[in-house]
Structure 1
């Protein structure tokens, strides 16, 4: 068990934030051993880091995180493993939703053309529900000319190949390690931090080089 000062120091989280998270139900209530003397579960350190991770890498709101933490399938001891199966809560729980008909009318598409994008993997509605994210992606796709659309399809094919390699490597690592949750966190780091950095920086570097000549 930890005193508040120790929890603040070890988690690098302000006291006011810790108290707010407890009030919102994101952290367990402290053990009130004596008046004005509260002790906090050591797992709070990991949960605070996980909350920061969700906010930084998924732009998750407090209500989304609360919904995740209160889900019956969420495991406090293995939060990243839980995130794999409950990712929809973080990715689209609060987004405005759109019907296929509304999207087709907005972007002058046939429903078969929209369904083809879904079947191909360009759009990925969760459980058949189109959110603001899918609407934003569709808006970008519909602005593409023919050459740009071919590039988008190249993105997709490359992504599918990378996805197979990423999953196979992760599954192999999980079989060989007892630290399953740490391995899954590493997978999220690869997907959300390292991969975009490498891919996007290559494009920016080439653009800067070509535009300066």
Structure 2
């Protein structure tokens, strides 16, 4: 997982409400267990329209997506977060998110920013022509026009996102403590460290 500190760039002014995970990545793409290539299927039904905003040259490579209420509702598929990342999006700004989607996004290094609707409307306006900056340290969203909107974030999630720590990374960060614990267990409970003796006859053929 890549660390995220500050993200600056064009923001896709999508703005749609109640965008469920089937819209983000259709079910036909769920057969894969790889995270690579899912960007091609992201918002597939919307992108059937040749004039869709996701394939607009103006927003090519945009790292920020601005959406409406209840983004990521529907099923719990983690592929939705994978598809957004593969599309190049690392920040989603919306008035509210599905709890499951927000959790999946966090675990995959996507920053979810909740702002009031009137601030979303302002960012939608700015995004038409200018970049937006999301800073995790100050927990602010700013524009070139002196707009400055603050957002709340769980301190633990903020730490993990800034350090690029997923669940595996968090475990590996405590590898010394884990090794020390295992060494103490081997001293105090040595029989647990002994190899299991196979039962006679098990696995033998007549």
> Where is the strand percentage greater, Structure 1 or Structure 2?
2
- TM-score, normalised by the number of residues in structure 1: 0.23
- TM-score, normalised by the number of residues in structure 2: 0.24
Higher relative contact order (CA 8 A, sep 6+): 2
> Where is the helix percentage greater, Structure 1 or Structure 2?
1
